[in-house]
């Protein structure tokens, strides 16, 4: 077995630290920009459709002279405005459904983006490829708990819990809002999801995944590289409970070789 030199150990330790510090610099939610462009375009179409719809419904209730003038100016051939109004109404419903799907996609992807990066971060930091195969959120929490790390201590934990719950609800329901979702401010007293509320929710929690990941980096760094006196004492005690003096001396000698 190749013997690592003190220089090799120092270099690997420092590179691992740098990898943790720079992890988030390489990560970006690539879906936001293209979807935001689609949303912008659809909102313009929606505004035009709604303007025409409201104008026509108002004119339908107006005098016959005004209606005939409108038909003449806008080349409306129908003797009845109802078919035109209905076309705009259907267009509004269709665009709003598209907007709903796009915001639904943004929310689901935001949580998946977070989950993937947590697994990558843990796998790299602890050199354990099995972590990436743990698909359940509960498994990730359990792994962190084994390292004495509680996600409830992370910045923006509450927002991430809301994101996780909304993500699950959108994937498993047909726009219906259950009682648990009604505790979230954007969905209070609502029976169904709509794109406007999803948009408000996403805007509020958009930065939370990055903030949450930053906290995770901080806690992992402390777990792997910060050794205060109390922690060193606990580690020493745990070895003392299993080693006799001869083994402890040999262990100390071998450990110190990596710093000579």
pLDDT at 220: 95
pLDDT at 136: 81
Decide if 175 contacts 193 (C-beta within 8 A): yes
CA distance 53 to 223: 60
Q: Which of 12, 20, 192 is nearest to 104 (CA)?
A: 192
Q: How far is CA 154 from CA 93, 121, 182, 217, in A?
A: 40, 15, 24, 10
What is the pTM (predicted TM-score) of this model?
A: 0.85
Determine the 3-state secondary structure of 116 from DSSP: helix
CA distance 98 to 95: 5
Range list of H helices, 61-188? 64-74, 82-126, 137-146, 157-172
pLDDT at 107: 96
pLDDT at 201: 97
- pLDDT, tens digit only, all 260 positions of the chain: 567 788 888 888 889 888 888 888 877 888 999 999 999 999 999 999 999 999 888 887 775 666 566 656 555 555 577 888 999 999 999 999 999 999 999 999 999 999 999 998 999 899 888 877 766 888 889 999 999 999 999 999 999 999 999 999 998 877 888 888 888 999 998 889 999 999 999 999 999 999 999 999 999 999 999 999 999 999 999 999 999 999 999 999 989 988 87
pLDDT at 40: 97
What tokens does 173 get?
């329901």
Decide if 99 contacts 45 (C-beta within 8 A): no
């Amino acid at each position: 077995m190749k013997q690592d030199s003190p220089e090799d150990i120092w270099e690997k330790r420092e590179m691992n630290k740098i990898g943790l510090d720079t992890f988030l610099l390489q990560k970006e939610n690539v879906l936001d920009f293209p979807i935001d462009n689609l949303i912008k375009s659809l909102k313009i179409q929606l505004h035009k459709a709604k303007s025409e719809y409201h104008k026509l419904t108002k004119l339908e209730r107006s005098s016959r002279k005004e209606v005939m003038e409108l038909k003449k100016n806008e080349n409306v051939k129908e003797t009845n405005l109802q078919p035109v109004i209905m076309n705009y109404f259907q267009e509004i419903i269709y665009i709003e459904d598209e907007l709903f799907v796009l915001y639904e996609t943004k929310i689901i992807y935001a949580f998946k983006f977070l989950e993937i990066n947590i697994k990558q971060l843990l796998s790299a930091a602890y050199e354990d490829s099995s972590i990436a195969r743990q698909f359940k959120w509960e498994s990730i929490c359990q792994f962190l708990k084994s390292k004495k790390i509680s996600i409830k201590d992370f910045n923006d934990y509450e927002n991430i819990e809301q994101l996780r719950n909304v993500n699950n609800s959108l994937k498993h329901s047909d726009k219906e809002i259950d009682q648990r979702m009604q505790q979230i401010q954007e969905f209070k007293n609502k029976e169904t999801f709509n794109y406007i509320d999803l948009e408000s929710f996403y805007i509020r929690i958009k930065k939370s995944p990055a903030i949450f990941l930053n906290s995770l980096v901080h806690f992992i760094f402390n777990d792997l590289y910060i050794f205060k006196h109390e922690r060193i004492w606990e580690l020493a005690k745990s070895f003392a409970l299993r080693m006799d003096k001869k083994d402890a001396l040999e262990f100390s000698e071998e450990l110190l070789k990596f710093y000579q």
